[in-house]
Chains A and B, each alone.
Chain A
Amino acid sequence: MSSPLLSVRDLSVAFHTDDGVVNAVNDISFEVHPGETLAVVGESGSGKSVSAMALMRLLPSSARIQGTIEFDGRDLLGLSPRDMRRLQGNEIAMIFQDPMTALNPVFTVGNQLVEAIRIHNPKVSKRAARERAASMLALVGIPDADERLDNYPHEFSGGMRQRAMIAMGISNEPKLLIADEPTTALDVTIQAQVIEVIKRAQEATGAAMILITHDLGLVAGVAERVQVMYGGRLFETGPTETIYYRSRNPYTRGLISSIPSATARTERRLAPIPGAPPSAINPPKGCVFRPRCQHATDECFTEPGLRRLDEAALHQSRCHYAEQLGEMDTAASGSRT
Chain B
Amino acid sequence: MSDHEPTTPSEPAERAIVLDVQDLVKHFPIRAGLLRREIGRVQAVDGVSLSVRRQETLGIVGESGCGKTTFGRTLLRLIEPTSGTVLFNGEDVTAAEAPRLRELRRNMQMVFQDPFASLNPRMPVRDTVAEPMLVHGTPKTEARARVGELLEAVGLSPEHGNRYPHEFSGGQRQRIGIARALALQPEVIILDEPVSALDVSVQAQVINLLEDLQEEFDLTYMFIAHDLSVVRHISDRIAVMYLGHVAELTTADRLYDAPAHPYTHALLSAVPIADPRVELSRERIILQGDLPSPSNPPSGCRFHTRCPIAQERCREEVPALRELVPGHFAACHYALEPGETIIQRVEDLGREVEIAGQGGSEMVIPPVPFGAGDAKGATGSG
Contact = CB atoms under 8 A, between A and B. Distances in A.
B218 to A, nearest CB: 19
Interface stretch (A172-180, A270-278, A305-313): A270-278
B156 interface: no
Interface stretch (B26-34, B194-202, B322-330): B194-202
Interface stretch (A17-25, A198-206, A295-303): A198-206
B276 A189 contact: no
Interface in B242-270: 252-253, 256, 266-270
A220 interface: yes
A188 B200 contact: no
B375 A256 contact: no
A188 B226 contact: yes
Contacts of A256: 274
B6 A267 contact: yes
A62 interface: no
Contacts of A258: 200-201, 203-204
B201 A262 contact: no
B17 interface: no
Contact of A262 (B64, B202, B229): B229
Contacts of B208: 269-270, 272
B290 A216 contact: no
Contact of A216 (B200, B278, B284, B375): B200
B279 interface: yes
Interface residues of B, number: 64
Contacts of A191: 270, 272
A43 B379 contact: no
B200 A143 contact: no
Given A188-B228, A262-B232, A274-B205, A159 B199 contact: no
B201 A216 contact: no
A26 interface: no
Given A220-B279, A221-B280, A266-B253, A200 B382 contact: yes
A244 interface: yes
B333 to A, nearest CB: 21
B63 interface: yes
B275 A244 contact: yes
Contact of B207 (A199, A216, A220, A260): A260
Given A241-B276, A255-B201, A337-B3, 4 more contacts: A259-B274, A260-B204, A261-B274, A274-B205
Interface of B: 2-4, 6, 63-64, 169, 171-172, 199-205, 207-208, 211, 226, 228-230, 232-236, 252-253, 256, 266-280, 284, 286-288, 290-291, 356-358, 362, 364, 375-377, 379-382
22 contacts: A187-B291, A188-B270, A188-B271, A190-B291, A196-B356, A200-B381, A220-B274, A221-B272, A221-B273, A241-B277, A258-B204, A260-B204, A261-B232, A261-B273, A261-B275, A262-B229, A262-B273, A267-B4, A270-B204, A270-B233, A276-B169, A276-B172
Interface of A: 43-44, 138-139, 141, 143, 157, 159-160, 187-193, 195-196, 199-201, 203-204, 214-221, 240-241, 244-245, 254-256, 258-274, 276-277, 336-337
